[in-house]
Amino acid sequence: MPLRMILARSPGRARGPWLVRLLVVVLLAQMGVAMVTTAVQQTPTIDEPVYVGAAADYLHEHRLRYNPEHPPLGKLVIGVGVALADPRFDPTPAATQEAFGQRLLYASGNDPWRLMLWARLPVIALTLLFGLVVLAFARDLAGTRAGLAALALYAFSPDLIAHGSLATLDVPVAGFLLTSVWLLWRARRRPRLYVPLAGVALGAAMATKMSALPAAVVLVGLAALTAWRGRSPNWSRALPRAAVVAVVALAVVWATYLMVDPRLRWEPLEAVPPLRGKRALLVRSLPFPAAYRDGMRVQFWMENRPWEGFLFGRLYDGSRWYYLPAALLVKTPLGMLALWTAGAVVLLAVRRLRPAAPFVLLPSAVLLVVAMEGARDFGTRYAIFLPVFLAVAAGCVFAVRWRWGPLVTGVLLAFVAVSSLRTFPYYLPYSNEAFGGPARTHLLLHDSNVDWGQDLGRLADRLRERYPGERVWLVYKGSGLPASYGIEASDPRGVPADRVRGLLVVSDTAVAKAQGWLAGLIDSGRPIDEVGHSITIYRR
């Protein structure tokens, strides 16, 4: 939707439309600069080669072979950048989807820096567009100042900048869900236009990542709620609206698979794990393409696998229900936490905003509960919908007529902006001031909260500039290939400890999970340097 339409005249519109538009451009521009800078400097994270490889396979082979656990739409978005990069492509099947992606990046004659940047740019553009949805939704609820405040929180969110600059699926699915909710809110007055559009946006979310499915049930219910008038719903309108959203969303999912392969050939190159019991019955009963249903089987299988977690310096087996709330407490700016809380209270307490509370708060609450029950304590990216939805809620603080309200809100927004800008360009390992900032995040959390393989290029620069000619031993957690970035290193695994001399370079996730042999090597070394707050260099 054009910016001038989003900022069209409304009761809550500020008197200076050009100033408002300038602020919107400035906020989105700083977010765009932060994301592009991050995208340029970071090497592939663990998941990105899989998505980029699958996207290239869609474009060249027009068939479904890799990465069934995630539907195609997000990878088709990434594929726009891959198509513009026009890499050399070898269609020969690989043993795993990870190997296929690595071959595309490192063994096909392509420049991995260039290809990854092009793959990330469409996600960056989509992330910026979702910022306009945040602005429009909050403005619809509480006026232009609310929209600007919501956009500011969105644009300065370290998590959104970190993951919005990657060729991954977390931010796109959250943005599509928010877009669907916003359209449902508008459907209360113009259902013929907005109900089908809400179904399209919901279908886009479901066709991007399967984590949208729990929210889909909520959004279909919200579609029925758009017919609520007075004290009782008009069921003659409520049920058809819910049905339209569900049917359109389902059609979008099917259309996405047809875009990849009109014949819907499903040729998995890796075995799909069997599924039994109630989950198997559920999967078989859903009206999705076969590849989608097999992807659900993979997801359920992954939920049943044993995983390790790391929280507040403690390594543990399995998952903890409180992991995500604790991780969010660490990785969310303090001013943002305060405004999220205030906004949720305002939505529930202010009478004229109370009808919006189910639209803004219920989907994110359901998704958070489901994510907390998950088996993988890997990062706040599993709750990336919170800074998207709660930015809208936070903007609603301007609906309260309190003398000091604008000043306090402005101070909190400034605090968020300063905290975000201080971490530039290291957004993945961000933690707020109460927990010591990005330099200390690795002591509290691991994996995509801190170290997702993103700093291999920075490590190459550091070794070349400060430690030329020294022997390097490397324990790296990631999908990048060190030799492709000019890193000449040996693997210390299986080597007697007394032979590991020189520089021992260890990804901080490996440090957090170190036991036995590796823990002994680390303990007997002296930390002398760090790279990107995600890799530690020891002298031995």
Q: What is the pLDDT of residues 353-396, one digit of tens each?
A: 999 999 999 999 999 999 999 999 999 999 999 999 999 999 99
**Same domain (yes/no): 470, 382:** no
> 242 phi and psi, to 5 degrees?
-60, -40
Task: Give the residue among 221, 216, 217, 211 at the shortest CA–CA distance from 201.
Answer: 216
Task: Count the domains in the chain.
Answer: 2
Please tell me whether residues 350 and 492 are part of one structural domain.
no
In tens, the pLDDT along 33-78 reads 999 999 999 999 999 999 999 999 999 999 999 999 999 999 999 9
Are both 29 and 129 inside the same structural domain? yes
Cα 44 to Cα 69, 113, 482, distances in angstroms: 20, 9, 11
User: pTM score, two decimals?
Assistant: 0.94
Rounded to an integer, what distance in angstroms lies between the CA atom of residue 116 and that of residue 372? 31
416-445 average pLDDT score: 96
pLDDT at res. 5: 46
Please indicate, yes or no, if residue 462 is contained in any of the structural domains.
Answer: yes
Residue 105 covered by a domain:
no
Same domain? For 398 and 478 the reply is: no
Report the 10 Å Cβ neighbour count for 263: 8
The answer to whether the beta carbons of residues 177 and 214 sit under 8 Å apart is no
Whether 78 is in a domain gets the answer: no
Does residue 262 sit in the same domain as residue 159? yes
Are residue 386 and residue 476 in the same domain, yes or no? no
Closest C-alpha to 160, from 383, 387, 337, 408: 387
Q: Are residues 155 and 252 in the same domain?
A: yes
Average pLDDT along the chain: 93
Produce one character per residue of 441-477: b if its CB has 16 or more CB atoms within 10 Å, e if not.
bbbbbbbbbbbbbbbbbbbbebbeeebeeeebbbbbb
Rounded to whole angstroms, the Cα distance separating 537 from 540 reads 10
Q: Which domain holds residue 480?
A: 453-539
Q: How many Å apart are CA 511 and CA 499, to the nearest integer? A: 20
Q: Is residue 520 situated within a structural domain?
A: yes
Do 414 and 491 lie in one domain? The reply is no
The answer to whether residues 528 and 458 belong to one domain is yes
Does a structural domain hold residue 96? no
SS3 category, 256: helix
Residue 438 lies in a domain: no
pLDDT for 357 = 96
Residue 432 lies in a domain: no
The pLDDT score that the predictor gives to residue 401 is: 82
In whole angstroms, give the CA distance from residue 475 to residue 215.
39
| Residue of higher predicted confidence among 27 and 514 | 27
* Residues 398, 314 share a domain: yes
SS3 44: coil
Q: Does residue 15 have a pLDDT over 90?
A: no
Which residue, of 402, 422, 442, is where some domain finishes?
422
Residue 137: the pLDDT is: 98
The C-alpha atoms of residue 452 and residue 533 are separated, in whole angstroms, by 11
Kindly indicate the confidence band of residue 13, based on its pLDDT and cuts at 50, 70 and 90.
Answer: very low
Same domain, 317 and 368: yes
* Per-residue confidence (pLDDT) for residue 30, from 0 to 100: 97
Give the residue, 468 or 495, on which the prediction is more confident.
Answer: 468
Q: Residue 1: pLDDT above 80?
A: no
Looking at the structure, tell me whether residues 415 and 459 fall in a common domain.
no
Q: With respect to residue 210, please indicate whether it lies within any of the assigned structural domains.
A: yes
